[in-house]
Structures are given as structure tokens and as C-alpha cells.
Amino acid sequence: MSKVESKAASSAGAPPQPGPHTEAADDDAQVGARLSAVRERMAGHDINVYLVPSADEHQNEYLPAHKQRRQAISGFTGSAGDVAVTPIEAHLFVDSRYHVQADLEVDPALIRVHKFGQAGEQELTEWLTAHEAEHGPLQVGYDPFLMSVRTVERLAGALQAEGSRLVPVTGNLVDAVWAERPAGPSRPIYALPDALTGEPVADKLARVRSAMAEAGADALVLTKLDEVAWLTNLRGGDVPYNPVFEAYLIVEPQRAICFTDDPLPQGVPGALEGQVAFAPYDALPDAMRGLVAGGRTVWLDPAGTTQGLQLLAQDARLVSRSPNPVVAMKAVKNPVEITVSRDAHLKAGAAKVRSFSQLAARLREGQRVSEADYADLLYEEYAREEGFSELSFTTIAAFGANGAIVHYGTPDARQELQPGEMLLVDSGVQILGATTDDTRTIAIGAPDAHQRERFTSVLRGHIRLALQIFPEGTTGQMLDALARSPLWNEGLDYGHGTGHGVGAYLNVHEGPQSISSRGTVPLEPGMIVSNEPGYYRTGWGGIRLENLYVVEEALGLPSHPGGKRWLRFSPLTAIPFDRTLVDWPRLTREEFQWLRDYHAWVEEQLAPRLDEPHRLWLHEACATPPAP
Amino acid sequence: MSKVESKAASSAGAPPQPGPHTEAADDDAQVGARLSAVRERMAGHDINVYLVPSADEHQNEYLPAHKQRRQAISGFTGSAGDVAVTPIEAHLFVDSRYHVQADLEVDPALIRVHKFGQAGEQELTEWLTAHEAEHGPLQVGYDPFLMSVRTVERLAGALQAEGSRLVPVTGNLVDAVWAERPAGPSRPIYALPDALTGEPVADKLARVRSAMAEAGADALVLTKLDEVAWLTNLRGGDVPYNPVFEAYLIVEPQRAICFTDDPLPQGVPGALEGQVAFAPYDALPDAMRGLVAGGRTVWLDPAGTTQGLQLLAQDARLVSRSPNPVVAMKAVKNPVEITVSRDAHLKAGAAKVRSFSQLAARLREGQRVSEADYADLLYEEYAREEGFSELSFTTIAAFGANGAIVHYGTPDARQELQPGEMLLVDSGVQILGATTDDTRTIAIGAPDAHQRERFTSVLRGHIRLALQIFPEGTTGQMLDALARSPLWNEGLDYGHGTGHGVGAYLNVHEGPQSISSRGTVPLEPGMIVSNEPGYYRTGWGGIRLENLYVVEEALGLPSHPGGKRWLRFSPLTAIPFDRTLVDWPRLTREEFQWLRDYHAWVEEQLAPRLDEPHRLWLHEACATPPAP
């Protein structure tokens, strides 16, 4: 899933397809009542603006239902968009991905939507400056546990009048008035065996403590849910698509404490005895104050630190290195994680091949198949695989022109797949200790020359990057243009990064590596990255071709003149590219060879996992014309 | 000329080939006497270490002879290497490029050479720390006008003992004892007509003053010689290879003052009357003090500011934006500069073609030709071109294994060109308002398969970058891997950047753009950059293929989805690549087409400029086999 579009996909707090997380949308009456109740409380706090951001206490991509406060106070379900409530108005600020969706979801009688990016429309900071100019000094209340330190600095910069200030308000005002608030964490935490994680908690803690000693830190505070899950080898079910649980973790030289209210089956604390102790979620502030009172040096990663945590630690000696040591450790997968991931990708690949094979059969038989039908079919095939847990994000099944909509999230039951256009399928699963993510674009019926031309350009970009060997020290920023090169030469481009990191049975978007203009981190052996160039044209459709690869050392080459190791991308994803969309003569010899070898590998890996009809479909899908 | 190697090439303060700048090396007796005299003066200043860096007051790549103090005090002629003098010892610190050269040039009885990079060897800062540990607090004297602010900070960090300190010493101690010091500036300054620069001084000053007003600066102090030359449209002859003159420039809203001791022909001040006034070089400190006393806000570019200037401005209100506005203005060439440059490149290309044609004739006739003979021949052909002023750097004419020596500088009169190996020729000229720089590697005799294989890989890298279209905003960092891609896939790489900026009748290395891992500046239309991938193997030889290109808008393409303009590289250099070294079937169709089109363009451009025998040679050199 492309990094820009991920935010869009996460907009579906209520994915209407088979899956474990569904909930009802809030209606306008509820929103109106909550806005009134918040305003009453604002008066009690002497504030004339109250901010409700999208993010929660853990600054993660996906939020549990009971933390979706911005949705509760506005009705807007998009992943990004902040609300500002004043005594008589309410404002929602959304970027271009959500201009249409916000209008559909928000009652204009209650909330004014600011579509920034459009002429004359303001961002939140601009609105604050303008509102202050009009109304005089502002007392802007906010929940400090929902805002990063950086965001608070940015907002403070928008307030310029003498007497204006940001007021951290204790206790979230939306929570206080949210009568229908979903229940909090209720799914039990479970432990992953070392056979899936490849590294016992004791060893992970030892590595983290060694990094802490080097940085001179007495305590490391982790707030991101995937970091807590990785370090404790625990998983949960509090958030859709990510098997994480709501928790903070404090690591000290002699102990580690996990703050969570999730149910803990007896075996879990037992397995971690002597390594990790447990405490209630709300005990974190006192623990932070204890560290400060004890004169400890506290390590807070600026990227994961909210203003609330910063305030709790304000009298402590601080280590503020970015990022914290878990980020780099988690990004480099160990041999066990890679083995588990390879197997999971073959399962996900087999399921996707079966879904394509069955789709072809249904269309051949003249059945009506909608986007939603296909997404259901795919879900069923995924669910057949042993170890399947859930999707790793809302499946994007976008037909025809829908493929060009950057934030196309919910497969449409009314959108029928018909010959002459393409279907873009971007999906992934959480399965047996691993996370998958892949995108294929397939022709429905016989493709035309233009579709084949564009598809081939995107595929050439994918292959150029996939076959690239590079020396260690190379960053994603330096590789991004390889995937864009054939497109750029035709005056084409895509508005998202080429690749992102992926977790091991964790988040489908994981840092610090990135193959994009922002990818300043060198790629290292063991890192998993996506390779997903694309092409989109409004009204016509979209193409995206995504595999996951694991970076590994390339052996058997001459020594690098600078003594560096050579690295390469080893494929995890095993799914054929739609050969009917490939304009084979346009491939260079190197590109042709890569595609031929890749298809041969896909067939070899998947055939033993498939029944006869699907195996035949695969064999045909993997066929390659003779070399040019 | 590759950026790493440039430093090496500049080592020849005394290029032994035809050219305007030659001088005798200092002998050991002179060095010994100067060291003794410096030590006497150190005692008078109460210092127990005196530092003599490579750089001069203007921090430029090439130094005039009378500023080559590090050479005068050590005998070492390399471009990089600092000296530390103590009351009883002297130390020279050189990196791996100069380990051999330093041993050859330095008398070990006088100076200990520290070859850092080798096990157990120290850099200057490490030595300072160790020396302090051994001898107690150090008083480290230095000339603050020779050290950048950043260097002084780095050195200060190396001194850790209570009582140790860096002591800025007024008056350079080497100058004071350098009896044989060459005379200072003596070559007259001259003005370039607008027909060559494309922009009158008044317009340039207006643009600079507008940037100053925006930054809130009352005065801009320029120290880099090429910046002063660009802004005043003046040139001089104080430095080898760069047509610049020793000067500072202060720009204020109502006046600009150029501080220089160079002879000023009557016409020069006349041409700039009302725009630029002149003052003696030594009047700068008083002028700086005047700005400070007058309460002016002074703009100092940290990259060009020495500690001495910083001290003069220490009580001023400072604007320290990096870089100063001239850097970006100078980098983007105007249409006149580009037209002048295109013509100069055709002249330089015609000269190089004649040199290759004559070299082939001489070898065919069985004549003995050395590296130096070829360099002389090339110089003669360059000198025939109208407007020729001088080389833009020491010609690198490296035969066989010499091609692998990264800092190969001086063509060897004893090194004969013989069949079976390759000749790498990296050269350029200052000609009629423009600066050129190109590299060709040619086979002497019939090349073998291995030479052709490596040459073709380097050429493919060159072509991949040369044909790449890219959206505005793309940095050199993002393009660098395109040129390395074919090499990397064979386990090969080169230890220098892929491309650097080039001045307009100024320095052959010019910022801020760079196609390398450090290239964080977006490429813009009008920027000139080199494209020079290479391959080097010790004992075997080297290959480098370098053209200059000007960035220009690419028209006739689809709109970029982000609304950006499309850019491309338009070739300036017109010289065929040695077709006998091209393994044609290995080129992709795109690469083949580019090379065919480029050779056709070269022949079309150069043929009218050549006599019959050279035109025939060119015709054969530009022939292309039928398309694959």
C-alpha cells in the first residue's frame, strides 16, 4: 500500500467488508449534542477555542474506536483532519484527499469545512492567526496527550497576539461528553513464541539497555504501540489491522514496566516474569513523576513524544535522540522473522492467485462481479490460509476510473467489473507472525494498447528497482528515481513514495527506511521494503505494481572499491504480473530476464500450494514469450 | 574533472606543461630556515604550536603562489594537508591521496608526516589532543584569516585541558619569514562585456540588494574570488586556471566596494563608475569595523567566512544565512552565458578531436608519443582556438595503469603510449567567457574484451543519466544512482561524485548543485553540470566519461501530476566516445539511440570547424552500427 494512500485507507474506521472491526457511524444529532456539551465545559476552563486532533495518545496510524474523538465530535471519518471548536462555531480542516468525503460526512449547519489547498481556504494554523486577528487574544485549549511536541510548537507559532496562549487541559473534553463512547481495551494480550519472533524478550531488552547505557539514559519511555509490541513479543487486538494493544512501556536498567488495561491471560505475565512487569494504563503519569523525582535521565523520542509526556518529564534530565533505539532494531528483521515472512507471503500469494483465478472463472461464466464481491472473494481466500489473523489494511479493489482516486478505500458493491478497464487490487494480511502488502493491476477483458503502454512503463520502473544491486550506505532517497526513470522519460510520475518499510506481524507502514525523497536512512540487510511505482489518470484509472522485498547481501561480486558490502532485493511477494498487460518488446534484455525469472520462481513456489484448476491458471499466468 | 580528483589536480602549484603559471619548488634548506625563523616568532607570541593550513584568505580551490604558505613551510605541494609547528618539531597531516607524494616531497629530518587513514596515524585534531595530554596545556597560534569558522570550532573541540586555548595571531608568521615569497597580485583586472556575461553589473547588484533587503541585511561581505568576479563582471589572473583576482567585496544598499591591490587599467573603474568603487585590499578590516560601528546588519555566508572576518564582525548584528545570494544566482546561467558556453564547447571539442586525430596519425606512423607529448599536443590545439585564455585545470593524460591513480596530475614525459592499454584524458579550457571540462578514455591500439566490457558499463551509466528527464525539484542526490546503476549491477563503483557545477569563465568546480550523495540542491534550468561516471582498478587503469550538460526545460510532454515543469540535460560537450571501446549489442535500445543521436549531433556541430583530414577522422569516429 502506498504511503500517501495509507492515510486514506485508514479512513475507514468502519470497513464494510468481512473483518473483525465494524462499528456504526455517528449521526448529526449526536455530533450536535456533543459539540454543545463540549462548549459548556470550555467555559469552565476559560478557553475560547478547543482543538480536537485526529491523533491519539500513541500517535499511531490506526486508532482504536474509543480514541476516535475527532470523528465523535464531527462525524468525519477520514484519517487526517483536525477540529477547532469555538463557543459558537466548529471548524474542520482537511487536505485535498478529503475535500469530497468531508462534505459527504459533515453537517454544514454544525461544522464549517476548510478545504486547504483550495484558493482562499485556510489550514488550522492560518485560521488561528486570522481568528485571533478578528477576535483578539485567544485561550486555545487542547489535550496535551494528543499533540506531539512539534505540533504544539507549530500551533504556538500561529498565535501572535499579546495575551494569546495555548492551554493544556487536563482530561479530554470529548471523552467527558461522549455518552456513546465505545468500550476501551477488552481483547486479551497474547505472547508470540520465539519460533516466530526469533529473539527472546530478554535479548531484546539487553540490546535496548546497551543503547540506553551508551546514550546515558536511565529510562526509556516508549509510546508507539508497535514498539511496545515488538520489545515485549506481545500482541493484542485493540486497533484494526495492527495486532497491537494500548500500552506504554518504561525500560530501566533493572526492570521494564508495561502500562496497559488490556486483559492479561495468566500465561502472559508468567512468560515475562522477571523481564516485564505490568501496571494499569493510568499509572504512567505517576511512574514518570517517580523517574523525575528520582533524578533519572529519561530518553524520549521526539517523534513519539506527546506534549503531555514532555510536561510530565519537564524537570527531568532528558535524552532526546531521534529515533529511539527500538526503531532501528525493529526495522532489521532476524533470520527467523524472514523465514516466517517468506512463508506468510507464499500463503498470501496463493490466496491472491486463487482469487484471480476464480474471478476469471466467474467473469468467463458471465457472472456479475462487483468490487465488493471481489474483495469478499479475496478475504475468503486469505481466511483459508493457516495462521490468518486479519487484513493488514482495508483492501483497495478499485475498478476503472476508481483506480485513479488516491484514497479509494471501500470496495463498492454497485461497481461492476466490466471488460475494457483495469482492476487495481492493493491488499495484505496479518498472518502467522508476518505482515504482507502487495498490489496488482489486472485487465478485465482484453487490454488496449494504451493500457499496455502505461502498465509496461510502471512495470519497467518496478523491475529497474527490483534488480538493482547497490552498496551498503545507499539510502532510499538515492534509489527512488530508478523506479521513476521510465515514467519520467515519458512525462509521467506518481504522487507517492516508491517504497516503505513493513513490520513483522505489526504495522504495514514501518520506518525508518523509505524509498522516497524523504528516505535518508541507509537500507540494511534484513529490512523489508515495498516497491510500488504507479500511474494514475483521473477518469481513466490507475496502475500500481507492488511487491515486498527483503534487503540481503549480494554475494559473488567483485569487492567494492570502498570496502562496502553489496546489497540486493530478494522478493517476498509471489504473485504473477498480468502478462496480458505487458508490452514485452519494450522490455530491455535485463528487464525481460528479471520478469521471466520472477514468474518462474512464483510458479515454482506456489504451484505445490494450489489445486489443479488454480495451478493451471498460474501456469498460464506465468508463461513468458521467447526472449527477444 | 571529478570532484574528488580536483583537489589532487590542484596539487600542481607548478604545472610542468605549457601554461602561464610555473614556479620553482622550495628546497629543503629553505624550508629548514623558515621553520627556525617561525619558531623564533612563536616564542614572541607565547605560543607552543603554530598551525599552517592549506587554505588562504578566500577559501578557494586554487591559491595564488604568494598565498601557498603551507608549501613554503613544508615543501609539500599537495592541495590538502595542514602543518603544525612546535618549538622542536613540525608535523604534516595528509590523507590517503598524498601518502606517497608527501614522502617524496618532505624532508623527514625536518617534518614528521602523519598519514591518516593508516592504522595508528593521527589527524591534526587527534594529534592536538594527544600532544596536549603529553605536554600539558597548549597555546595554539593560528592566522584567523586562513581558517573558516567551522574549522576553528573543530580545533577548539580537540583541546580539552584547562588552560589550553587557540590564539589568533595577527600577521601571518610564515609571510614574515618567507624571504623568497613570490610577489603579490600584479596582473591587471579586466572587464567582461555584457555580450559575454548577459547581465550588467547594475542588474546583478539590484538582484543581490533585493535579496539583502529580504534578509534584513545592510551589508553583504563576499570573500570567495569567483563570487566577487561574477558580481563585478571583472576577471583577473592571480590564480592558476581560474580567471579571478584577489579581492573582497562589500555590497551595501547605496554602494559596493571592491578591496583589491591588483592593477586597475583606467577603463575598469570607469566602466563601473557609480556601481562599484575600489579600495586597497588591506582596507577591508577598517571597512568592517566601520559597518559594525555604524550599527549595520552584516551578512556573512558561513561557508566563505574565515574566523578573522567573524572576529571583525563580532559586535555586529549578523545575518548568517548559508549560502549567500550570489551562490544561487551565479549557478543559474542566463541565455547569453549559455550561448557563449555552447560556442566555447564546440571550440574545445574541435581542439580535442584534432588532438585525437593527430595522436592516431602519429601512432600510425610509428612515432613515440608520451603522456606529456599528448598533453602538449592538446594544449597547442586548444591554444589555436580564438578566445583561448588558459586551461581550466592541469590536464590529466593518464596512460594504462596511471589511469587508476585517483590524483594523477602531471603528464609523464617518460610514459609512452603503447598499444593494448587506454589513455584517460580529462581536460578543459577557459575560453571566451566560458569554462569547459570533459573526459574521454580512448584505446591505444585494438582494445580487448575486458576493456570494452568495462567501458560499456561506464558509458551506459553516462547515457542513463544523460537521457533522463526529471521533474523540477529533483536533487542531484536523487539522480546519482542512475549513472551508477549499470556498474553497481556488476559489482563495480567509483569513489567520486557523478557530477559538479561549472562556472561561466570562472571555476571549473562550482556549487551549489552536485550530482552525488551530497547533492541536496534541486537542479534548475540554466545550471551547468558534469556527468562523469568512471571505473578504476589499480594496476590496470581507469575509465572516466565526462560531458557537461546544461539543464533546460523539456517541452512537449504530458503535464506533471504535481504541476511541476519537466527538465532535461542538453549536451554542451561535443566529442565522440571511442566507438572501438563500445560493446554495441550490450546497449539497450534507448541507450543505443541516445549514442547514435549524440554522435550525429557531434559530427554536425564540429565538421564545419575542421580541416579535411580531421573531418574524415571525425566522420569515422562518429559512425554507428545499424540499430539492433
Mean pLDDT across B20-48: 82
pLDDT recorded at residue A23:
42
d(C-alpha B235, C-alpha B431), whole Å: 13
Given a cut of 70, is residue A13 above it in pLDDT?
A: no
Given a cut of 80, is residue B320 above it in pLDDT?
A: no
pLDDT digits (tens, 9 = 90+) for B353-396: 999 999 999 999 999 999 999 999 999 999 999 999 999 999 99
pLDDT recorded at residue A169:
95
pLDDT recorded at residue B418:
95
pLDDT recorded at residue A584:
96
B482 close to A (CB below 8 A): yes
pLDDT digits (tens, 9 = 90+) for A90-142: 999 998 778 888 888 999 999 999 998 777 889 999 999 999 999 999 999 99
pLDDT digits (tens, 9 = 90+) for B594-626: 999 999 999 999 999 999 999 999 999 999 888
Given a cut of 80, is residue B10 above it in pLDDT?
A: no
The residue among B463, B464, B474, B478 with the most chain A CBs within 10 A of its CB, best to mutate, is B478
Residue B589 CA, distance from chain mean position: 36
Given a cut of 80, is residue A61 above it in pLDDT?
A: no
Cβ neighbours of A568 in B, within 8 Å: none
B4 close to A (CB below 8 A): no
Cβ neighbours of A464 in B, within 8 Å: 485
d(C-alpha A203, C-alpha B116), whole Å: 38
Q: Which residues contact A135 (CB under 8 A, 6 or more apart)?
A: A48
Given a cut of 50, is residue B549 above it in pLDDT?
A: yes
On the 0-12 / 13-18 / 19+ scale of CB atoms within 10 A, A42 is: buried
Give the ranges where B216-305 is alpha helix by DSSP (H).
225-232, 267-271, 284-293
Tell me if A558 and B468 make a contact (CB, 8 A cut-off): no
pLDDT digits (tens, 9 = 90+) for A511-523: 899 999 999 999 9
Mean pLDDT of all residues belonging to chain B: 92
Binned at pLDDT 50, 70 and 90, residue B12 comes out as very low
ipTM value, please give it. 0.89
pTM: 0.90
A413 close to B (CB below 8 A): no
Nearest C-alpha in B relative to A522: B517
Minimal Cα–Cα distance from B101 to chain A, Å? 21
Tell me if B562 and A493 make a contact (CB, 8 A cut-off): yes
Mean pLDDT across A314-337: 88
Binned at pLDDT 50, 70 and 90, residue A406 comes out as low
Binned at pLDDT 50, 70 and 90, residue B432 comes out as confident
Nearest to B561 among A477, A493, A566 (CB): A493
Nearest C-alpha in A relative to B474: A517
Total length of chain B: 628
Q: Contacts from A550-558 at CB under 8 Å and sequence distance 24+? A: A550/A333, A550/A338, A550/A341, A550/A526, A551/A523, A551/A524, A551/A525, A551/A526, A551/A527, A552/A525, A552/A526, A553/A525, A554/A469, A554/B491, A557/A469, A557/B490, A557/B491, A558/B490, A558/B491, A558/B492
pLDDT recorded at residue B96:
77
pLDDT digits (tens, 9 = 90+) for B38-80: 999 999 999 999 999 999 999 887 889 999 999 999 999 888 8
Tell me if A489 and B467 make a contact (CB, 8 A cut-off): yes
Given a cut of 50, is residue B6 above it in pLDDT?
A: no
Mean pLDDT across A449-454: 98
Cα torsion B332, B336, B339, B341: sign: negative
Mean pLDDT across A35-64: 93
Given a cut of 70, is residue B628 above it in pLDDT?
A: no
Q: Which residues contact B71 (CB under 8 A, 6 or more apart)?
A: B13, B26, B77
Minimal Cα–Cα distance from A538 to chain B, Å? 10
Q: Are A318 and A404 in contact (CB under 8 A)?
A: no
Minimal Cα–Cα distance from B426 to chain A, Å? 21
A408 close to B (CB below 8 A): no
A544 φ, ψ to 5°?
Answer: -145, 135
pLDDT recorded at residue A579:
97
pLDDT digits (tens, 9 = 90+) for A542-593: 999 999 999 999 999 999 988 999 999 999 999 999 999 999 999 999 999 9
Nearest to A478 among B464, B480, B554 (CB): B480
Q: What is the DSSP string of A464-499?
A: HHHT--EETT-BHHHHHHHHHHHHHTTT---SS-SE
pLDDT recorded at residue B131:
94
The DSSP code for B305 is: -
Nearest to B491 among A468, A481, A557 (CB): A557
* 3-state SS record for B129-148: HHHHHHHCCCEEEECHHHCE
Number of A to B CB contacts under 8 A, please give it.
Answer: 89
Nearest to A468 among B485, B560, B561 (CB): B485
pLDDT recorded at residue A321:
62
The residue type of B353 is V
Nearest C-alpha in A relative to B494: A561
Tell me if A493 and B474 make a contact (CB, 8 A cut-off): no
The more confidently predicted of residues A6 and B68 is: B68
pLDDT recorded at residue A116:
83
Nearest to B488 among A469, A480, A562 (CB): A469
Given a cut of 60, is residue B13 above it in pLDDT?
A: no
Cβ neighbours of A489 in B, within 8 Å: 467-469, 590
Cβ neighbours of A453 in B, within 8 Å: none
Nearest to B489 among A469, A495, A560 (CB): A469
Nearest to A471 among B469, B488, B557 (CB): B488
Q: Contacts from A554-560 at CB under 8 Å and sequence distance 24+? A: A554/A469, A554/B491, A557/A469, A557/B490, A557/B491, A558/B490, A558/B491, A558/B492, A559/B491, A560/A471, A560/B491, A560/B493
pLDDT recorded at residue B26:
66
A566 close to B (CB below 8 A): yes
Mean pLDDT across A403-421: 88
Mean pLDDT across A328-350: 98
Given a cut of 90, is residue A162 above it in pLDDT?
A: no
